[in-house]
């Protein structure tokens, strides 16, 4: 492994990280918004979201990324591979996040809502002041779990040409004819990135336990 190879690996890691970050940052609030549509049972929209969630969770990322990259130009939307990658990851993670938020809402202790209603609080008030601050705590471990899954699935964008941390190993091997070292190092880098998230998730789980009186 040459110094140049290391540089390429770092570039690949950076690509993986920034694309994943955008997808995560967009996917959490989008999932939240969609979960609201579902729990409020907005007519028509609620069914569409349910359909999207079911499809989104069942569609492999490789297939989705290819589909977006190849099909959208036909409808006049010129999309570059990076945008297609980000959109595919976001659509995918948002569908899972919708369910995470929805579970947090449905699992919220009815007793606290009753106390709020008995004191004359209206639904919008107690949703934002009582439910949401606590739903964050119960949803966060699952949201972070979803983030680790996103990073583990991110190599899917290699199929549309994005040189991420996985695909870059092909490039390095093409130059050095030694495929094993870059793969091992890339694997180690993934483990480092993901273990940070896993540790965060464990800490959040302990904190959520404390709040679940």
Partner 1 sequence: MPEQIPVLVVDGISKSFDGLEVVSNVSLKIHSGETISILGPSGSGKSTLLRCINWLEKPDRGDVYLANQRVGRKEDGQLMSDAELASIRVQMGMVFQNFNLWPHFTVLQNVIECPVHVLGLSKDDAVFRAEQLLEKVGLKVKRDAYPYSLSGGQKQRVAIARALAMSPTVLLFDEPTSALDPELVGEVLAVMRDLAAEGMTMVVVTHEMSFARDVCEEVVFMDEGQVVERSKPERFFSNPQTDRAKRFLARYE
Partner 2 sequence: MTDLQIVLNEWPRLASGFGNTVLLFGTSAVGAFLLGALMVGPLRSQNKVIRVALHSFVDGMRMLPFLIFVYLLYYGLPTFGVKLDAWTAGLLGLIIYHCAYVAEILRGAWDQLPAGQTESAQAHGYHGHRLMRRIILPQLFLNSAPVFGNQLIYILKDTSFLMIITVQDLTYAASSLQSMYFVPLEPFLIAMSLYWVISLSIEGLVRAVQRTAKVRGLGRA
Minimal distance, residue 134 CB to partner 1, in Å: 5
Among 10, 25, 48, 55, the residue binding partner 2 under the rule CB under 8 A is 55
194 forms part of the interface with partner 2 (CB under 8 A):
yes
179 forms part of the interface with partner 2 (CB under 8 A):
yes
41 forms part of the interface with partner 1 (CB under 8 A):
no
Give the chain's radius of gyration (CA, Å).
21
Residues numbered 134-153 forming contacts with partner 1, rule: CB under 8 A: 134, 137
From CA 143, how far away is CA 26, in angstroms rounded?
A: 12
From CA 36, how far away is CA 31, in angstroms rounded?
A: 9
58 forms part of the interface with partner 2 (CB under 8 A):
yes
62 forms part of the interface with partner 2 (CB under 8 A):
yes
Question: For the stretch 69-97, what's the b/e string if a residue is b when 16 or more beta carbons lie within 10 angstroms of its beta carbon?
Answer: beeeeeeeeebebbbbbbbbbbbbbbbbb
Q: 30 near 94, Cβ under 8 Å?
A: yes
Q: How many CB atoms lie within 10 A of CB 2?
A: 12
Among 95, 138, 142, 154, the residue binding partner 2 under the rule CB under 8 A is 154
> CA 133, 207, 57: angle at the middle one, nearest 5?
70
Give residues in contact with partner 1 (CB under 8 A).
111-112, 114-123, 125, 129-130, 133-134, 137, 210-211, 213
Binding interface with partner 2 (CB under 8 A): 54-55, 57-64, 66-67, 70-71, 73-74, 148, 151-156, 158-159, 166, 169-170, 173, 178-180, 183-184, 186-187, 190-191, 194-195, 198
């Amino acid at each position: 492994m040459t110094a140049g190879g290391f540089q390429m690996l770092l570039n690949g890691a950076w690509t993986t990280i920034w694309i994943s970050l955008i997808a995560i940052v967009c996917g959490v609030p989008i999932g939240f918004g969609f979960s609201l549509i579902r729990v409020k049972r907005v007519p028509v929209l609620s069914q569409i979201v349910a359909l999207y969630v079911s499809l989104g969770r069942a569609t492999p990322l490789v297939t989705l990324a290819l589909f977006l990259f190849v099909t959208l130009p036909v409808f006049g939307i010129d999309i570059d591979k990076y945008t297609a990658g980000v959109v595919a990851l976001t659509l995918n993670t948002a569908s899972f996040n919708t369910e995470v938020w929805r579970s947090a809402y449905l699992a919220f202790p009815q007793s606290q809502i009753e106390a709020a209603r008995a004191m004359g609080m209206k639904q919008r008030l107690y949703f934002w002041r009582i439910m949401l601050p606590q739903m964050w705590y119960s949803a966060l471990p699952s949201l972070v779990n979803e983030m680790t899954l996103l990073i583990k699935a991110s190599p899917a964008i290699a199929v549309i040409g994005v040189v991420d941390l996985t695909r870059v190993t092909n490039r390095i091997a093409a130059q050095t004819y030694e495929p094993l070292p870059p793969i091992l190092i890339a694997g180690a880098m993934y483990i480092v990135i993901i273990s940070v998230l896993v540790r965060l998730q464990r800490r959040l789980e302990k904190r959520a336990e404390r709040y679940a009186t």
